[in-house]
Amino acid sequence: MDASGLPLLDRRLTDCRACPRLVSWREEVARAKRAAYADWTYWGRPVPGFGPADARLLIVGLAPAAHGGNRTGRMFTGDRSGDVLYEALYDVGLASRPTAEHADDGLALYGVRVTSPVHCAPPANKPTPQERDTCRPWLVQELRLLRPTLRAVVVLGAFGWQAALPAFAEAGWSVPRPRPAFGHGARFHLDGLELFGCFHVSQRNTFTGRLTPAMLRDVLRTAARAAELPTTAD
C-alpha cells in the first residue's frame, strides 16, 4: 500500500484483456477512428483512473467513451461528458483548468481522482453485467489503495452506483442491506466515508436539463467539503 501502489495498478490495468467483446470493440474503434480524429493515434486500451494517489474525493463514472477516453487514454477526456465534469470541477476549485483535451494538456486535479467500474469503452456505452463484474477487482484494488486518505465519493449514475457498492463491500467498507438506493443528491455514510449520488454527466442528462451545471457543482462542492477539501465560493 505504498505510494507506488496506485501507479503500478494503473500500469497493470492497461494490459488487461479479460473481456473479449470489449477488447474487440475498443481496438476496432481505435483502427477505424472517427473522421474528425483521423490524424490521432487512438489509445485503444483500458483507461486507468486519473488523479493523485492521496485523493480525498473519488468520482466514479461508468466507462470510457469510444472516442473520448478510448482515444485520449485519460478518463473523461476528449468528449462532451468530460467537458461538463471538468468545467464543474474547475468552477469549484478542484481542477487546474476547465477543459480536458488530451493526456498532456496540463490538467491537474486537486485532491480528486476520477475512475470508473468498467475501464474499456463498451459498444453503445453499455457494458454487460458480466463485464462489470469481471472488471470489479480493479476498482476494489483502487479503493483499497485510496482508503488511507479517501473521505468522500461521488458516483455518477445508477449503473456506477450498482457497480460501486459491491466494490466498496469487497474493499472492506460495511455496506448496509438492503443497499442504499441511487438518487441525485443521495448521501450515505459508510465507515468514515461519505457517499453521494449524482446524475451522470451524459449528454442525455445535460442536454435535456435533467442535470444542470449548477446541480453538478452543488454535489461536487458538498462532497468536497465532506472530504475537507477547499473550494471556491458559491
Task: Check pLDDT > 60 for residue 100.
Answer: yes
Task: Check pLDDT > 70 for residue 29.
Answer: yes
Express each pLDDT in 170-205 by its tens digit.
999 999 999 999 999 999 999 889 999 999 999 999
C-beta of residue 133 within 8 angstroms of C-beta of residue 167: no
CA dist 63 and 18 (Å) reads 15
Instruction: Indicate the helix (H) or strand (E) that contains 155.
Output: strand 152-156
Output the pTM of the full model: 0.96
| Residue positions counted in the chain | 234
Task: Check pLDDT > 90 for residue 167.
Answer: yes
Question: How high is the pLDDT of residue 92?
Answer: 98
Express each pLDDT in 104-141 by its tens digit.
999 999 999 999 999 999 999 999 999 999 999 999 99
Question: How high is the pLDDT of residue 122?
Answer: 98
Phi then psi for 72, rounded to 5 degrees? -95, -20
Question: How high is the pLDDT of residue 1?
Answer: 42
Question: How high is the pLDDT of residue 3?
Answer: 47
